[in-house]
Structure 1
Amino acid sequence: MHHMTTQDTIDLGSFTFECGESIPTLEVAYESYGEFTGDNAVLLCHALTGSAHVARRPDAGDGTAGQARAWWGDVVGPGKAIDTTEYYVVCANVPGSCYGTTGPSSTNPDTGEPYGTDFPPVTVGDWTRAQRKLLDELGVGRLHAVIGGSVGAMNVLDWLRRYPDDVERAASVAGAARLDAQCLGLDAIARRAITADPNWNGGHYYDGDPPEEGLARARQIGHVMYLSKASMGRKFGRRSAGREAARDEPPDAAAAFFPYREVESYLDYQAEKFTDRFDANSYLYLTRAMDDFDLSAGYDSDADALAAFEGELLVCSFTGDWHFTVEQSDALADACREAGVAVAHHIIDSDHGHDAFLVEPEKIGPPLSALLAEGLSGRAISDTEEPDEDEFAPVHTSLFSD
């Protein structure tokens, strides 16, 4: 079967954000895969620094949408867990980002200059509303499913609260109803690293040098949040980086006496890659949106916020994840039960940390595939308090090969 893919930008016209401010034009970059048959649309919600480029595209090189690789390329595609020969899959870049959708680095048509920090504050609710408008333009009414990971899972929960009648099935992968104080604190330090960079210039740095040092530090804090103690111990331990590891001059003379460790080398490498591809203002805007999200805001409780949703929700969590914890997913599942929402909490045994939802496709693919095909009764879905090896359906490895 011919595999349809689209990469496009739709102009949604003027858009008013939840903060009350408007912009004259909101362009939304999106990709779609497969063909729409009326009831097979699946919306995917990306994580913090993700793009619309969720799956590999036969017609595109590696650099699609400004992101080096398809972020869920082993989960989404023809014959994969989210099968694009069966489902019409849409992924849209969120407002405030820098991958094609209007954000701080976009040109303000009123001034001809980049918005910078004059761009309105953005919330997860704004992402959802922009996605709803995009789907309206694409002729998609009710979604077969909405699925997202990390802050994308918060985006999913906002769909269930805001447009409960528009979704049949949903999956919150490595998500939560809100961030805890530890993560809020780390995010605040990451933002302070950006705004303290001498090049930040109040967010109006586009005609000069960007605040790369600050953005690098922010990303390094993020990377530590995404890994677990166990995965960092296994990956780096206390080892020194090899002599060939590129290191800038030691920051001070005494530093040269001590080893440049593998963990430092890894974080430096990741930061350098990231500053080449992401905008510092977008990092400020998107982390604030994530920090701000609270499922119960405007409601009596999480259960009350979800009560109008009559579909099914699959909650997936990873045991090594301390950014969006198993306990937070447990609390979300409890809120669903209290609200009478059909829910299963599928706990995946993993020591990869928060990154597991991206790096262990063989663990997350089967439950998502089962949800789409059979709902919560699917064989590959278990509602377990404790992960048990026998609960997991065997994975057909060919699903995840290129």
Structure 2
Amino acid sequence: MTTKETADLGEFQFESGESIPNLEVAYETYGDFTGDNAVLVCHALTGSAHVARRPDAGGETAGQARAWWGDVVGPGKAIDTSEYYVICANAPGSCYGTTGPASENPETGEPYGTDFPPVTVGDWTRAQRELLDSLGVGRIHAVVGGSVGGMNVLDWLRRFPDDVERAGAVATAARLDPQCLALDTVARRAITSDPNWNGGHYYGGPEPQDGLARARQIGHIMYLSKASMGRKFGRRAAGREAVREEPPDPAAAFFPYREVESYLDYQADKFTNRFDANSYLYMTRAMDDFDLSAGYESDADALAAFEGELLLLSFTGDWHFTVEQAEALAEACRDTGVDVAHHVIESDHGHDAFLVEPETVGPPLSGLLEDGLEGRAITDTAPDADDTSEFAPVHTSLFSK
């Protein structure tokens, strides 16, 4: 059984101290609830509640043409919806059904725009907890998410440690590094410097699509590795059919329009048709602001109250959230006695690997849900005393059935 609903959580106060009179949260559920089989899936930066394929989707759900983790979540898949009751909710501040900047402010009858309160990952977690309460779900079997969705998972462990039995944090870290913060800053400036942004109050008029397009292109460069870009594009010129509508500068007609340029333009065009520029500002700021240790002495201290099991997945080609960052998080867990395993996947796809490699992501998550860390031979990566490397990768063969 699947459902696509919107829950009205009533008045909601954000961590900034500001409130809105009604927070509506768009969510989808898959499977039947039996009391102890709930699995919460947290989406990434521009994802929606549409995590798995639905028989009633009709080609597009929540602005997305396909389920963002449809090869991982579903009947008979790694997160098996014939066994688990899977919930995925769109985060506050986004634009896929949950209240955000593009939503109507009931006090003015106009879209909030940038009058919408600042949003944090903690606000996402608290909204999810309220949604689960409204669905009659208390303690959850597992919470799973990738990228900033993995930060959402970590926030669950520090905010509601008694409510989670198992957790899977994929391609994530305790905080962004300065390089990623810098790139996100440039992406936001691309939006706010667009003459159509109008201080965030552009609804009903021309939208800042050029700025949003540039922001998305920066994001795509962050999500790919050098190896994957070399393999996909090289320095090749695009085919004759891939002709840009307008050369960006007079000299451009002399030089080849390369495949990598064509790819970035195509992705930007698709994205501007489905996402809101203000939401991109709000969601990236929430990600940039997240720091697991905020309010605590350390990452270890932040997770000390969690008594369940945590599986960390990282990818060798991911420079957005690196293997080293995941290992540092695993070490913090070991320091405080949290039952943790860090599974390193050899991949040159970059950060996108958690979305495009279901064959490597799925088995360890399935093992975590079925048997926890022990039953599926999920091996920790704490280095041996004689090991001179910083960590010892765990190979995916350990998870094959």
Alignment-derived partner of residue 169 in structure 2:
172
SS at structure 1 position matched to 2:350:
coil
Superposed CA offset, 1:321-376 (max 9, x none) = 00000001000000000110000000000000000000000000000000000000
Does the 8 Å contact 1:329/1:345 carry over to 2? yes
What is the deviation of 1:390?
A: 7.2
SS at structure 2 position matched to 1:269:
helix
Alignment-derived partner of residue 387 in structure 1:
393
Matches within 5 A, 1:1-400: 4-379=1-376, 381-384=378-381, 385-387=391-393, 389=395, 391-394=397-400
SS at structure 2 position matched to 1:135:
helix
Which runs of no fewer than 5 residues in structure 2 stay unpaired? 382-390
The 3 A distance-change label for structure 1 pair 342 and 48 is same
Q: Which letter does structure 1 place at the counterpart of 2:208?
A: P
SS at structure 2 position matched to 1:147:
strand
Superposed CA offset, 1:208-232 (max 9, x none) = 0110000000000000000000000
Whole-Å Cα distance in 2 between the matches of residues 380 and 68 of structure 1? 37
What is the deviation of 1:382?
A: 3.1
Greater CA deviation, 52-61 or 218-227? 52-61
Superposed CA offset, 1:146-176 (max 9, x none) = 0000000000000000000000000110000
What is the deviation of 1:380?
A: 5.9
SS at structure 2 position matched to 1:346:
strand
Does the 8 Å contact 1:366/1:380 carry over to 2? no
Does the 8 Å contact 1:367/1:380 carry over to 2? no
Whole-Å Cα distance in 2 between the matches of residues 89 and 213 of structure 1? 37
The 3 A distance-change label for structure 1 pair 232 and 378 is farther
SS at structure 2 position matched to 1:267:
helix
SS at structure 2 position matched to 1:273:
helix
Which runs of no fewer than 5 residues in structure 1 stay unpaired? 396-402
What is the deviation of 1:248?
A: 1.8
Greater CA deviation, 374-383 or 81-90? 374-383
Does the 8 Å contact 1:382/1:391 carry over to 2? no
Greater CA deviation, 62-71 or 21-30? 62-71
Does the 8 Å contact 1:6/1:31 carry over to 2? yes
Alignment-derived partner of residue 399 in structure 1:
none
Whole-Å Cα distance in 2 between the matches of residues 53 and 330 of structure 1? 30
Whole-Å Cα distance in 1 between the matches of residues 125 and 249 of structure 2? 47
What is the deviation of 1:379?
A: 2.6
SS at structure 1 position matched to 2:110:
coil
Does the 8 Å contact 2:367/2:399 carry over to 1? no
What is the deviation of 1:256?
A: 1.1
Q: Which letter does structure 1 place at the counterpart of 2:263?
A: Y
Does the 8 Å contact 2:12/2:21 carry over to 1? yes
Whole-Å Cα distance in 2 between the matches of residues 380 and 361 of structure 1? 19
Whole-Å Cα distance in 1 between the matches of residues 152 and 237 of structure 2? 40
Whole-Å Cα distance in 2 between the matches of residues 165 and 252 of structure 1? 57
SS at structure 2 position matched to 1:372:
helix
SS at structure 1 position matched to 2:273:
helix
Does the 8 Å contact 1:51/1:99 carry over to 2? yes
What is the deviation of 1:389?
A: 4.7
Superposed CA offset, 1:46-93 (max 9, x none) = 000000000000122121111111000000000000000110000000
SS at structure 2 position matched to 1:355:
helix
Superposed CA offset, 1:74-118 (max 9, x none) = 000000000001100000000000000000000000000000000
Whole-Å Cα distance in 2 between the matches of residues 51 and 200 of structure 1? 24
Q: Which letter does structure 1 place at the counterpart of 2:189?
A: R
The count of corresponding residues between Structure 1 and Structure 2 is 392
What is the deviation of 1:249?
A: 2.1
Superposed CA offset, 1:263-319 (max 9, x none) = 000000000000000000000000000000000000000000000000000000000
The 3 A distance-change label for structure 1 pair 193 and 306 is same
Q: Which letter does structure 1 place at the counterpart of 2:233?
A: F
The 3 A distance-change label for structure 1 pair 46 and 110 is same
Whole-Å Cα distance in 1 between the matches of residues 110 and 246 of structure 2? 37
SS at structure 2 position matched to 1:90:
strand
RMSD over aligned CA atoms reads: 1.0
Write out the 4+ residue segments of structure 1 that deviate beyond 2 Å after TM superposition: 378-395
